[in-house]
Amino acid sequence: MMAQSELALQLLIPLLAGGWALHARRLYQRLHRVRRDPLTGLLTRDGWSRAANRIIRRHRGATVLLADLNGFKAVNDRHGHDAGDAVLVAAGERLAAWCGKNDVAGRLGGDEFVAVLADDARLPGRLADLAELLRQPVHHNGHELRVGASIGAARLAELDTPTLAAALKAADSAMYRIKGRTRGGRRLLVPALAAVRRLPVSLAHRFRLAA
């Protein structure tokens, strides 16, 4: 006859296994929420960095881009934070829709977004398309909210140190290189090549578009 201790152990093992499975599932869900921006649903800095590093390891032609919304503070100041949130949500949705199936978008915080592209084919044209998407008006509570976008991008293959950190630094440098350039009082889309270190080996693409 089976000892009581052995019987108790056999009954306890499934309960423990089920408990650990439930705990693991809840832990995964919590980690998933932590790595997702609660407002836009995009990956947070930590979650995006992990995904971006995986893409960089698998795709030698990867490109990293940074996008900063122009005029966002004015929307917040004039229409309130709910309107600002609506703009951020729309920007996140548009960036995610613009990304290809192997690309990953994220939100670094505030009005700054990031993406890693597995394939840099048609990069200048794609960046122009993204800038045009981000400048489209957002309709909120009867108001037409408009912002622009500054976008900087860097190809890892053209960097002396092809790492995520180096690509982010290069993209940031490219984004701010001609930020604020205007013509006739109106900001324009300006496709340009900004040297990260030296021309023509290390290049970053920079676009400027605002309403």
Which residues are identified as catalytic? 111
Residues whose CB is less than 8 angstroms from the CB of residue 166 and which lie 6 or more positions away in sequence, other chains included: 156, 159, 160
- 42 — alpha (psi -120 to 50), left (phi > 0) or beta? beta
87, two tokens: 């703009």
94, two tokens: 């548009």
Instruction: Beginning with the edge strand found earlier in the chain, give each strand of the sheet holding 112-117 in spatial order.
Output: 104-109, 112-117, 63-70, 148-155, 203-209, 192-195
User: By the 8 A CB rule, do 68 and 115 touch?
Assistant: no
User: By the 8 A CB rule, do 13 and 21 touch?
Assistant: no
- Radius of gyration over alpha carbons of the chain, in Å? 23
